[in-house]
Amino acid sequence: MKASHSFRARKRLGQHFLRDSSVIRQIIRRAGFEPDAVVVEIGPGLGALTFPLAESVRQVIGIEKDSRLTEILKDRLIEKGIQNVTLVNQDVLKADLGETARPFGGRILVIGNLPYNISSPFLEKLIQSREVVTRAVLMFQAEVGRRLVASPGNKQYGAMTVLAQYHARISPLIEIPKEAFHPPPKVKSLVVELDFTRPHPTRAGNEEAFKKVVKAAFSHRRKTLINSIKGTFSEWRQDEILLGMEKSGIDPKKRAEMLEIDDFIRLTDGLDCFFDKARASC
């Protein structure tokens, strides 16, 4: 899909439009959406993914922040007589995906060639919306995509990896070269699938605490776990943190990047008394 001549791409909205039709076909094929699927597309832009999607699923809801694009795409959809696409002119970070899903039985799929600057907040939003989003197929800057699929011991493995892999099974689908876009971005992209119907099998007793512990553990990558945890929760007593770590069988001298998701779950359980509001300490 070529950008309209009268249209100037806005950098701050991450406007890099897919123009390689074989890449577009590949993304739609690998997404594997069923014909009766209801798919929410994030940032449809000029419709590179929207048109082939509309042909292959029941309903598409496009959420686009740039009103100029919503208008152009609306006209193009009318021109082609496409009736199963609804466009919403909105910032997706402010959208309520639960409300979006309600008319369709409360379950949606998500696809998006994401503007790079909203990757992290959008991931958080998706995780919060996991009750209604069954699966998401998203294109990220390759480095962010690799972080999502990283394993322990790898330098890309971080808090984002652990929190995302705790809530969804994540698989890399396709690497996309810069030349597939207009204008081309500075880096390669990676399409990743997040399957929220297959979360990590072991669950934390207190998921809010789990999130805080994971973020604290990775807050200072070069420090040991005990120092990172102490650094974030300065009001906690060190001897009590050490006792909690001993209880969970986690070596306080390890670094966060060596811990598996199950280790973080055990660590959170070992420190759970700190999160009990009724107690000042453990």
Footprint on this chain of ligand SAM (rule: CB under 6 A): 13-18, 42-45, 48-49, 63-66, 69, 91-93, 113, 115, 118
User: What CA–CA distance (Å, rounded) separates 159 from 200?
Assistant: 15
Say which amino acid occupies 233.
Answer: F
Residue with smaller CB distance to ligand SAM, 31 or 267:
31
Which ranges constitute the DSSP H helices of 168-260? 207-217, 225-232, 238-248
Residue with smaller CB distance to ligand SAM, 91 or 276:
91
Residue with smaller CB distance to ligand SAM, 15 or 228:
15
Instruction: Kindly state the smallest distance separating residue 115's Cβ from ligand SAM, in Å.
Output: 4
Instruction: Kindly state the smallest distance separating residue 223's Cβ from ligand SAM, in Å.
Output: 34
Chain residue whose CB lies nearest ligand SAM: 43
Instruction: Kindly state the smallest distance separating residue 37's Cβ from ligand SAM, in Å.
Output: 17
Contact 240, 281 (CB under 8 A): yes
Instruction: Kindly state the smallest distance separating residue 195's Cβ from ligand SAM, in Å.
Output: 21
Residue with smaller CB distance to ligand SAM, 15 or 59:
15
Q: Where are the beta strands (DSSP E) in the chain?
A: 17-18, 38-42, 59-64, 85-89, 108-113, 133-141, 169-176, 181-182, 189-195
Contact 172, 182 (CB under 8 A): no
Residue with smaller CB distance to ligand SAM, 31 or 213:
31
Instruction: Kindly state the smallest distance separating residue 163's Cβ from ligand SAM, in Å.
Output: 21
| Distance linking the first and last C-alpha atoms of the chain | 60
Six-digit token pair at 60?
Answer: 């598409």
